[in-house]
Structure 1
Amino acid sequence: MFYQLYEMNHAAMAPLRATADAMRLAFGNPLNPLSHTVIGRTVAASFEVFERSTRRYGKPQFGLATTTIDGSPVKVTEEITWSKPFCNLIHFKRALPSVRPDDPKILITAPMSGHYATLLRGTVEALLPHAEVYITDWVDARMVPLTDGLFDLDDYIDYVIEMVHHLGPRTNIVAVCQPSVPVLAAVARMEADSDPLAPSSMTLMGGPIDTRINPTAVNELAKNKPIEWFKENVIMDVPWPQPGFMRPVYPGFLQLSGFMSMNLDRHMTAQKDFYMNLIKNDGDPAEKHRDFYDEYLAVMDLTAEFYLQTVETVFMQHALPKGEMMHRDKPVDCSAIRNVALLTVEGENDDISGVGQTKAAQTLCTNLPDDKRMHYMQPDVGHYGVFNGSRFRKEIAPRIVAFAKEHSTPAARPQSSPVKRVIKGGKSA
């Protein structure tokens, strides 16, 4: 009933939101003399803050129409190249001449953790000049009818394997945060089956491979509550008239409230600064605020079975690092990985996936040769900075591209060896 109440409240606010938006436009219109006064800007700012605080944010667009390659602008078009009920695979096709040498093929596996794949717009934008980029565009579970079946962690792994098969040989896969576990599991299963289409390399970024290492507040919450608590308190049925009516989900608005509460003082300060910038008619910071929160506040529902299985497997049982994880009744054995090169990336100030949690993948892949593994820890960035921002563009993205280029070749003969290539802040250690 809580989800239904949320929907009813949102619908009840619709007339007020429409009125507030109309008043904002009226007091912000340059033809209105009051718009040039502090009083007029204050009224317009108040109405805008109210409207933005009560609206439902729709799925954003990538909006990457061009990129720059070899100093020249190149047109980019989005194409869905593979599709299933819970995911579309988007290809950012670049209008390049056919005679140009091929760039590495990179599949970005976006998190299925409440936000849309557009959260990785900056990740895609940074890689586009140097690679043929694909990204998983996960579908909001509330939009998927019950007749399309369930979707759990096993299905996620199946989807990853199918997408790698679809893209063909020499695919390089990049997992950002949450998908690090299913991507590592998918690669382990492919290697165990001697799959000839296993990716050339995988990059795991800020992922919860082993949450026993430097546990964060997110990890502690999952550890301190039994799975029954999550079933009773965060799982709800999609209300009518959504296409996914009666599908059990973990609602996006609940996850967003958890994100917001972790840094509530920061969000409150940002809202206050936004209000004051509108009054001062300071357009640049106000527009940056809009851009960030248009993305941050756009959330999607997760299927109940995927969410609960992920919480139990990854955060409670620590099944992957313990060697106890199963996929379709088959063991996930990371020691089977011998040919797929591994790059792990962490942020020094990550408060979602603690330092060492992603690097743990290096320890699990015991039979991977030295020349097929590398770890990089980026100083002075938090979780978001691992896959976005200036340091990502300058320090991390070039390493991902270079690693993909280096390993987009036929697999070498496997040999067992420990981790040696470790980089921190650009220096070998």
Structure 2
Amino acid sequence: MLYQAYQLQSDFTSPWRLMAQHLSSALWLQDTERSVLRKMSAACDVLSRMRLTHTRPAYGIARVQSAGQSWGIQEETVLSLPFGSLLHFKKVGEANAPEQPPVLLAAPLSGHFATLLRETVRTLLQDHDVYITDWHNARDVGLWHGGFGLDDYISYLMQFLQTIGPGVHMVAVCQPCVAALAATALLAEDKDPAQPRSLTLMAGPVDCRVNPTGVNELAVSQPIEWFEKNLISHVPLPHPGFMRRVYPGFVQLSAFMSMNLERHKDAFKNMYRHLDEGRVDEAQAIQKFYDEYLAVNDLPAEFYLETVRKVFQTYDLALGQLTWKGRTVNPAAIRRTALITVEGERDDICSVGQTVAAQDLCTGIKPYLKTHHIQTGVGHYGVFSGRKWNEQIYPRVRDAIHVSLV
């Protein structure tokens, strides 16, 4: 009933928010000075943006600087599967695009769309040929496509790597670090030529027993049956995935926002104040963030429950008990892949120590192929976006990837 109640509320309030959006534009056009009309316009704008959307925003990466030239970026879907696509950011221009190492960016499937990594993509494009796992909204996937669990996520990663081909590198951000390490281990054990040349794990829950955060404590506070009973819903009409069991993105977003509720309230207050004072650029920066942050992506129930149980409750990978389709995942089988782990000093979602644990699991990798970096002064999102990502973290990741080419 949870999803049905949300759908009814969304359907009821949608006309009012649409009206507020049009009223905001009309009032703004009529008023050039700070006045009552300006205040009303600002209030209507804020009201119209306090809503969730369920469609992937555009990546919006039109051009990048690479190899001393400006290149146009053309998005092309290389492989489309029911629950996700392999999306390629192809460089186009008058000259032939430079030959750069291909990188698969493994995006989280955790309530937001892969566009949350837009800045990560843009930065990687400076020196790499970039692909991304573009996950679909589970509420738009018909029941006839079957379920999608952690095994399927790992399978998708392996299929995407094989599609890109030999010489590929993989960068995993947050949640998919476990699946990325598993996929690499399985390909290595099979001596598959598509096993990645390097694997970068950024702020991921490889071993949640280390320095547990509030997220980790919540995951073990209840048995998995509680999560299934209280957080899983059926997709209502009129969506294509009608009756599919999902962990709704709006539930995940509510949990995240409750962790920093005052900060989000202050952000909307600042948005109103900036609009009222005519500081449009500052208001637009906040608007842009929340247009992305409030775009939610439903997770298949199987994937969510298996991730909670195997990653956050029973620590299967860390304990050597993770399996894929009945086959034990053996990180020690990885020998030819360079391993880079990155953590944020102030990360309150995936704390220091949880990602670097991968280094101890991968006993087959020579020490000179292992790199670890702790970035001071950043939280979770600062590991893969923002100034310190661009200026301090990315150069280390880039250099480790390019060194592995030698």
Query: TM-score range with shorter-chain normalisation?
Result: over 0.9
Aligned residues: 406
Whether the aligned pair in 2 keeps the contact of 1:200 and 1:407 (CA below 8 Å) is yes
Closer/same/farther in 2, CA of residues 193 and 70 from structure 1, 3 Å limit: closer
2:26 aligns with: 26
1:158 aligns with 2:155: yes
2:256 aligns with: 259
Deviations 1:94-133 (A, max 9, x none): 1267766521111100011111010000001111121100
1:283 aligns with: 280
1:10 aligns with: 10
1:364 aligns with: 361
Letter in 1 for 2:134: D
1:349 aligns with 2:349: no
Deviations 1:138-193 (A, max 9, x none): 00000000001110000000111111111111100000000000000111111122
**Alignment partners' CA distance in 2, 1:162 and 1:26:** 50
Runs of 4+ in 1 over 6 A off after TM superposition: 97-100
Secondary structure of 1:142's counterpart equals: helix
TM-superposed deviation, 1:404: 1.5
TM-superposed deviation, 1:310: 0.4
Secondary structure of 2:284's counterpart equals: helix
Whether the aligned pair in 1 keeps the contact of 2:54 and 2:137 (CA below 8 Å) is no
1:310 aligns with: 307
Deviations 1:239-276 (A, max 9, x none): 01100000000000000000100000110111111111
**Alignment partners' CA distance in 2, 1:72 and 1:22:** 41
1:86 aligns with: 83
From 95, 103, 108, the equivalent of 1:106 is 103
TM-superposed deviation, 1:35: 4.7
Question: Sequence identity of aligned pairs in percent?
Answer: 46
**Alignment partners' CA distance in 1, 2:293 and 2:98:** 37
Closer/same/farther in 2, CA of residues 101 and 71 from structure 1, 3 Å limit: closer
TM-superposed deviation, 1:20: 1.4
From 39, 56, 62, the equivalent of 1:42 is 39
Closer/same/farther in 2, CA of residues 329 and 345 from structure 1, 3 Å limit: same
Whether the aligned pair in 1 keeps the contact of 2:274 and 2:280 (CA below 8 Å) is yes
Whether the aligned pair in 2 keeps the contact of 1:339 and 1:368 (CA below 8 Å) is yes
Alignment of 1:237-252 (within 5 A): 237-252=234-249
**Alignment partners' CA distance in 2, 1:105 and 1:55:** 34
* Deviates further, 9-18 or 282-291: 9-18
Secondary structure of 2:282's counterpart equals: helix
From 285, 296, 299, the equivalent of 2:296 is 299
**Alignment partners' CA distance in 1, 2:190 and 2:280:** 56
From 390, 394, 398, the equivalent of 2:391 is 394
**Alignment partners' CA distance in 2, 1:54 and 1:96:** 39
Secondary structure of 2:116's counterpart equals: helix
1:336 aligns with: 333
Closer/same/farther in 2, CA of residues 99 and 53 from structure 1, 3 Å limit: closer
**Alignment partners' CA distance in 1, 2:72 and 2:232:** 43
RMSD of aligned alpha carbons: 1.4
**Alignment partners' CA distance in 2, 1:101 and 1:41:** 50
1:139 aligns with 2:139: no
**Alignment partners' CA distance in 2, 1:354 and 1:386:** 12
**Alignment partners' CA distance in 1, 2:210 and 2:332:** 20
2:195 aligns with: 198
Whether the aligned pair in 2 keeps the contact of 1:207 and 1:357 (CA below 8 Å) is yes
Alignment of 1:311-326 (within 5 A): 311-326=308-323
Secondary structure of 1:20's counterpart equals: helix
1:424 aligns with: none
TM-superposed deviation, 1:77: 0.4
* Deviates further, 68-77 or 236-245: 68-77
TM-superposed deviation, 1:38: 2.0
From 99, 103, 114, the equivalent of 1:117 is 114
Deviations 1:296-350 (A, max 9, x none): 1111000000000000000000010101111111111111111111000011111
Whether the aligned pair in 1 keeps the contact of 2:51 and 2:294 (CA below 8 Å) is no
**Alignment partners' CA distance in 1, 2:52 and 2:156:** 33
1:415 aligns with: none
**Alignment partners' CA distance in 2, 1:362 and 1:18:** 51
Secondary structure of 2:269's counterpart equals: helix
1:226 aligns with: 223
* Deviates further, 178-187 or 52-61: 52-61
Letter in 2 for 1:309: E
Deviations 1:274-301 (A, max 9, x none): 1111111111210100011011111100
Letter in 1 for 2:57: P
**Alignment partners' CA distance in 1, 2:130 and 2:65:** 14
Closer/same/farther in 2, CA of residues 392 and 55 from structure 1, 3 Å limit: closer
**Alignment partners' CA distance in 2, 1:365 and 1:57:** 38
Instruction: Give unmatched runs, 5+ long, in structure 1.
Output: 410-429
Whether the aligned pair in 2 keeps the contact of 1:108 and 1:134 (CA below 8 Å) is yes
- Normalized against structure 1, the TM-score is what? 0.92
**Alignment partners' CA distance in 2, 1:37 and 1:386:** 39
Whether the aligned pair in 1 keeps the contact of 2:203 and 2:383 (CA below 8 Å) is yes
Letter in 2 for 1:271: F
TM-superposed deviation, 1:197: 2.0
Whether the aligned pair in 2 keeps the contact of 1:57 and 1:294 (CA below 8 Å) is no
**Alignment partners' CA distance in 2, 1:291 and 1:9:** 24
Secondary structure of 2:318's counterpart equals: helix
Letter in 2 for 1:377: I
1:214 aligns with 2:214: no
